[in-house]
Copies of this chain bind each other. A is one copy, B any other.
Amino acid sequence: MLEYLYPLRTYLIVSGSDKPNVMTADWVVPLSFDPPMLGVAIGHKRYTHKLIREFQEFVVSVPTLELLKDVWIAGTISGAKEDKIRKMSLTLINSKKVRVPSIKECQANIECRLVKEVETGDHTFFVGEIVEATPGDAFIHGRPDLNYRFIMHAGFGKRFTTNSGETYEP
């Protein structure tokens, strides 16, 4: 039944610090303007789940279609079992206000401090306050430039799509 909410935007969640982890997540949502907050639902068994609890911080990074191979690796290999960062072509760089790193190749890095955890069935919903955000060229005018191809997951399998370049006004 959750398929009916798809296609959904796909993001990368960075967690941990000395040995950081990157995972793919479609279940990300804005929650508040003031203070700026967002939430992400993470399965109980995910390594990211453990790392967010431990470090109380995480980064939401915004990939585009050029990074699809890395997004797939991040979503299908467990960082607890394999060094998946080495398998990816992403560059981890220092964040500005949290210990968790950001991803250089992404079009935005949104730095969050954990403020609340909510149990929701088989996932935990982590609520973060946004303490810093660094945009790339896709947001040079503040709002998203639709010439960039943001990643959308077209269901639960190996099938993605993107935004069209057109805009529509009601």
Contacts and interface: CB of A to CB of B under 8 A. Distances in A.
Interface size classification for chain A: 35 or more
B118 A127 contact: yes
A45 interface: no
A29 B32 contact: no
- Chain copies in the assembled complex: 2
Given A9-B7, A41-B30, A146-B161, A36 B1 contact: yes
The residue in A2, A159, A163, A166 that gathers the most chain B C-beta atoms within 10 A of its C-beta is A2
Interface of A: 1-9, 11, 26-39, 41, 60, 62, 65, 68-69, 71-72, 107-108, 110, 116, 118, 120-123, 125, 127, 130, 133, 135, 139, 142-144, 146, 149-150, 152, 154-170
A142 B113 CA distance: 37
Contacts of A160: 167-170
A32 B123 contact: yes
